[in-house]
Structures are given as structure tokens and as C-alpha cells.
Amino acid sequence: MPSLSETIARLAATRGMGRAASAPSRLSEVTSFGSNPGALRAHAYLPDVLPRNAPLVVVLHGCTQSAADYDHGSGWSQLADRHGFALLFPEQQRENNPNLCFNWFLPNDIGRDGGEAASIAQMIAALVDAHALDRRRVFITGLSAGGAMAVAMLASYPEVFASGAILAGLPFGCAATVPEALQRMRGQGLPSEAALVGAVKGASSHRGEWPTISVWHGLQDHTVVPTNGEAIVSQWLGVHGLDAAPSETLQVSGHDRRIWRDRKGVAKVEAFAIERAGHGTPLDGADGIGVSGAFMLDAGISSTRHIAAFWQIAEPVEVTAAEPRRPAAAAKAPTPSSLLDLLPKRLKPGKAAASGPGKIIEDALKAAGLMR
């Protein structure tokens, strides 16, 4: 395992490689949505034709990305044009996190009614009210740190969401400090299934129906190892009270898909294991939805289209059982996000330890020019 000094040296050497040039934005900024305790920005996309009571999809970008970058790569606004749903893109600011990562593990940012999670909840409420959207069809998805934050939103505000989709993320409640988060990303020291389930159920007073969930993870992801995807699956199987054995396992465009259904046959949890894929969002380069690039992987399968179909806001994706498997493009410069996912926001009392491992990492990153 690389030492901390080796990791920081590698980060310094690759600084600036993880982010492509910003894409032209199709989004409009939302400037007033509440007290915004997490100091996030908000962007929205509304198709020219938006039906009454349209669904809302909340999309959380990964580290080093902007909202516009992630929309351009994933193709969500293209799909919204086809199917008539609204989009909300919360966006991190460098004042909170120098590498634009959502602070997915800090208790003050992922709990109910505080920090970044509360800002995202305020954005949702404002957009739903402003455009008369369907409160029963609000969905959330995210990549990497955005995926981990999406899990936090599902846990802390389960009554808000019908479903979520997590790409290369981590389970809710698995870490609360920088050293713990580093370990969990490597798959080390993950809490037991019972503890993970308890974390979700203890995050709110919710006693109603829980959101369904779709989990996507590349089998060659060395930034957030696939063990984390399996931990998310186990966490939400426990939340839904489902057996560990899937109801159905099949091949979709050369990738394994597992489905867990309730007694009524409703799919509550699904999981895609993406062959030969690293850290990023799986795309199908042939379908015209999204653009491959840094952390946007041409894996021969469109996660965007399949997720929308799972949520029943788009038509099912037609696939041929005999389709050959296609290798996924490797993510560019994954190392920066693997450590910088963990950088805390403004180091105020209660946000990070003033000494100890977290302080050591902070000082080292500042010395390397990777943190202000």
C-alpha cells in the first residue's frame, strides 16, 4: 500500500489531469432556494416541453467536475428532452472543497437539516414548488463523492425520494473522519450490515416506504473499490427487509445485473457489475446519450438510460442477449479523487480535528499545493 507521502507526491504530479475543459452548459443557475447552510450552488434544466406534474431528477457530480461537466458527459439533459422531466444539479464550490467534491462523510454535511444535505433538500423543495413538479416522483443519482452524497440524501430524507441510483459510491454512515474515509474507499473496515442498516434507519424518523435503489460499480475500480458497491446493496437489502439471494440475475450488454424483488414482484434493489470498468459513469458510445471522457466510460451500456428506465420515467432499453462484451475505457487520473474526495470544507470547529491524522493529511496536502 502506498505511504501517505507517496500518495501526496503522486497527487502533486498529476494535479490538474483529472478534469477536462469545462463543457458548454445547458443549465440555468437557481439563485434563491433557502438559507443554503451548505453553501452550494444550484443549477436546473427544464425541457421546452415539460408536462404537468413532471418528475424531478437530482444529479450530483463527482470530484473535479462541475454540474455542466457531468451533464455533458452523462447526457441527462438530452434524456430529459426526450421524456419530459426536470433536472436539478447541485454544485460544490471550492470554498467548501478545493477539488469540488461533495463532503460525503462529514456528519455535519450529511445529516438531516444541516450542511450540504439540507441545502440540497431546500433546492428540491424550491424547484418542485416553482414548477409544480410531482412530489411523488423525485429521484437522485450521483457519481463517486456525489454517489456517496446521494446515498446520504436517501438515508436522511427518505420521504423526499422515490428512488436513487449510485455510481461508484459508498454506503451511508461508513465513515466520519478522514482516516476512516480513506480506509473505506479501499474497502477496509466497512461496518457490518447490521450497523449500516441501523445507520440508515437512525438517520430520520421515517417509518413509511423506503426509496428503491440502483447500484452501479466498475469491477476494476481502484478509486472506490467494488466492495463499497456490495456494501450499499447489503445496506439497502436490509432496509427493505429482503433476502441476500437475488430474485433474478441476467446479462445486460455483457454486464451482470442482479434484481431483488419484494413479495409483490416489485424491484426494490438492483445492482450492475460493469466488466473491465474503472472509476466513472458507464456510457454507451453508440447511443448518442452523453460523451465519454474523464470519469465517463464507454462501457457499451448507458447507465443514464437504464437508470431512467428503472425509475419508469423513460422507456426500457432494448438490448440483445448475444451482444458481445466491450471493454470499458479506463478513467483518466483516478488518483486525485481517491484522496481529495476526503478533503473537509472550511476547517471550522466541529468540521475537522485540529490535530491528529486529519490535521497531518491537511498540512501535507497544503504543502503539496493541493489544498488552500
Angle at 19 (CA atoms; ends 81, 85), nearest 5 degrees:
15
Cβ atoms of 68 and 25 within 8 Å: the answer is: yes
Residues of 187-226 as b/e, b for ≥16 C-beta within 10 angstroms?
A: eeebbebeebbbbbbebeebeeebbbbbbbbbbbbbbbbb
Cβ atoms of 285 and 292 within 8 Å: the answer is: yes
Annotated catalytic residue, options 77, 144, 163, 292: 144
SS3 content of the chain, % helix, strand, coil (to 5): 30, 15, 50
Element at 72 (helix H, strand E): helix 67-74
**Distance between CA 154 and CA 124 in Å, rounded?**
13
Residue-level length of the chain: 372
**Distance between CA 44 and CA 29 in Å, rounded?**
6
Please measure the distance between the N-terminal and C-terminal CA atoms of the chain and give it in whole angstroms. 27
19: Cα separation from own chain's centroid: 17
Cβ atoms of 165 and 232 within 8 Å: the answer is: no
Cβ atoms of 166 and 141 within 8 Å: the answer is: yes
Active-site residue, 205 included: no
Q: What are phi and psi of 224, to 5 degrees?
A: -120, 100
Query: Three-state SS string across 157-172, please?
Result: CCCCCCEEEEECCCCC
What stretches of 160-294 show up as alpha helix (H) in DSSP? 178-185, 193-201, 227-240
Cβ atoms of 156 and 110 within 8 Å: the answer is: yes
**Distance between CA 315 and CA 294 in Å, rounded?**
28
Please identify every residue annotated as catalytic. Answer: 144
